[in-house]
Structure 1
Amino acid sequence: MARSTVAQALVGLLFAFSSVARASPDQALCNTIKTKLGNDTVEATDGTYEALSTENWSQTVWAKPACIIQPSNAKELTYVVSTVVGQKAKFAIRSGGHSVVPGAANINGGVLIDMARFNSVEYDANKKVATVGSGLRWKEVYTALDPYNVTVVGGRVLEVGVGGLILGGGLSYLADLHGLVCDNVVNFEVVTAKGTVVNASATSNPDLFWALKGGANNFGIVTKFTLKAYDIHDAWGGVRVYSLDALPALFDAMYQYQSVANKDPYANIMLQAFPTNASIGAILNMVYLKPEAEPEAFAPFRNITPLADQTKLQTLTELMLAAPLPELTRVNWFSSSYTTDKKLFSQVADIVTKAPEIEEISNLTAGSLAFGWQPISSSAVLAGHASGGNPLGLQPVNQTWLVLDVGWWKPEDDELAHNYTLSIIDKIDDASKASGNYVDYIFMNDAAADQPVIEHYGQENVAKLKATARKYDPDQVFQNLASGGFKLP
Structure 2
Amino acid sequence: MWFSISIFVFIWLRLTVAYAAIARRADLKALLTSTRWSAKTIISFPGSESFTNATERWTVFDPPTYSAAISPSTEADLVKAVQLATSNGIPFLATGGRHGYTTTLGDLNEGLAIDLSLFNRLEIDKSAGTIKVGGGVRFRDIYDPVYTAGFEIQLGTASCPGMVGVTLGAGVGPWGGVHGLLIDALLSLRVVTAGGRVINVSKKSYPDLFWAFRGAGANFGIVVSATYKLQEQVNEGESLVADVIIPAEKNASYFELLQSYDGSLPENLSISSFITYNWTIDAPQITASWAYIGPEADGRIEFAPLLALEPIIGAIAVYPWNKVITSVAGGADAGLCLDGGTHNIYTLNARNLSAPTYEATFEKYSLFYKEYPEARGSSLQIAIFPNQAALSVPDSETAYAWRDTLAHVDIVFSWGSAERDLTEVTDVLGRELRGDFAATAGYPDLAVYVNSAHGDETLEQIYGARKLPRLAALKKAWDPENVFGFNNALPTRYP
Q: Normalising TM by the smaller chain, what interval?
A: 0.7 to 0.9
Distance 1:455 1:346 in 2: 24
Give yes or no for the alignment of 1:408 onto 2:453.
no
Q: How has the CA–CA distance of structure 1 residues 475 and 19 changed in structure 2, closer, same or farther, with 3 Å as cutoff? A: closer
More displaced, 27-36 or 196-205? 27-36
Q: What secondary structure, in the 3-state scheme, does the structure 1 residue paired with 2:165 have? A: helix
Amino acid at match of 2:423: D
Amino acid at match of 1:391: A
- How far is the alpha carbon of 1:23 from its aligned partner? 6.9
Q: How has the CA–CA distance of structure 1 residues 92 and 358 changed in structure 2, closer, same or farther, with 3 Å as cutoff? A: farther
Residue 344 of structure 2: aligned partner: 332
Residue 51 of structure 2: aligned partner: 49
* Equivalent runs, 1:465-480 vs 2, <5 Å: 465-479=471-485
Distance 2:352 2:23 in 1: 60
Match 2:440 to one of 418, 432, 443: 432
- How far is the alpha carbon of 1:22 from its aligned partner? 7.2
| Structure 2: gaps (5+ residues) | 1-18
Q: CA RMSD in A?
A: 2.9
Q: What secondary structure, in the 3-state scheme, does the structure 2 residue paired with 1:285 have? A: strand
Residue 11 of structure 1: aligned partner: none
Residue 375 of structure 1: aligned partner: 384
Residue 390 of structure 1: aligned partner: 398
Residue 149 of structure 2: aligned partner: 148
Residue 239 of structure 1: aligned partner: 243
Residue 448 of structure 1: aligned partner: 454
Residue 364 of structure 1: aligned partner: 372
Match 1:349 to one of 358, 361, 372: 358
* Equivalent runs, 1:154-169 vs 2, <5 Å: 154-169=155-170
Distance 2:23 2:440 in 1: 55
Give yes or no for the alignment of 1:316 onto 2:321.
yes
| Deviation per residue, 1:121-159 (Å, 9 max, x gap) | 111112211111121211111122121121111221111
- How far is the alpha carbon of 1:51 from its aligned partner? 4.3
| Deviation per residue, 1:147-203 (Å, 9 max, x gap) | 112111122111122132111222122111222122221111111011111111111
- The question of whether the paired residues in 1 share the 8 Å contact of 2:344 and 2:423 is answered with no
Amino acid at match of 2:466: E
Give yes or no for the alignment of 1:420 onto 2:429.
yes
Amino acid at match of 2:447: Y
Distance 1:240 1:108 in 2: 44
* Equivalent runs, 1:210-359 vs 2, <5 Å: 210-232=211-233, 233-260=237-264, 263-274=265-276, 281-293=285-297, 294-323=299-328, 324=332, 325-326=335-336, 329-340=341-352, 345-355=354-364, 359=367
Distance 1:236 1:19 in 2: 53
- The question of whether the paired residues in 2 share the 8 Å contact of 1:441 and 1:453 is answered with no
Distance 1:219 1:234 in 2: 37
| Structure 1: gaps (5+ residues) | 1-16
Q: What secondary structure, in the 3-state scheme, does the structure 2 residue paired with 1:171 have? A: coil
- How far is the alpha carbon of 1:311 from its aligned partner? 2.1
| Deviation per residue, 1:390-413 (Å, 9 max, x gap) | 2222364x6322221111224632
Q: How has the CA–CA distance of structure 1 residues 309 and 106 changed in structure 2, closer, same or farther, with 3 Å as cutoff? A: farther
* Equivalent runs, 1:60-139 vs 2, <5 Å: 60-62=61-63, 64-102=65-103, 104=105, 107-139=108-140
Q: How has the CA–CA distance of structure 1 residues 439 and 372 changed in structure 2, closer, same or farther, with 3 Å as cutoff? A: farther
Distance 1:94 1:23 in 2: 20
Amino acid at match of 2:379: A
- The question of whether the paired residues in 2 share the 8 Å contact of 1:99 and 1:105 is answered with no
- The question of whether the paired residues in 2 share the 8 Å contact of 1:93 and 1:104 is answered with no
How many residue pairs end up in the alignment? Answer: 457
Distance 2:109 2:74 in 1: 25
- How far is the alpha carbon of 1:419 from its aligned partner? 2.1
Give yes or no for the alignment of 1:195 onto 2:196.
yes
Q: How has the CA–CA distance of structure 1 residues 411 and 38 changed in structure 2, closer, same or farther, with 3 Å as cutoff? A: farther
Amino acid at match of 2:490: L
Distance 2:379 2:134 in 1: 32
- The question of whether the paired residues in 2 share the 8 Å contact of 1:34 and 1:40 is answered with no
- The question of whether the paired residues in 2 share the 8 Å contact of 1:92 and 1:106 is answered with no
- The question of whether the paired residues in 1 share the 8 Å contact of 2:243 and 2:290 is answered with yes
Q: How has the CA–CA distance of structure 1 residues 81 and 238 changed in structure 2, closer, same or farther, with 3 Å as cutoff? A: farther
The alignment-based identity, stated in percent, is 20
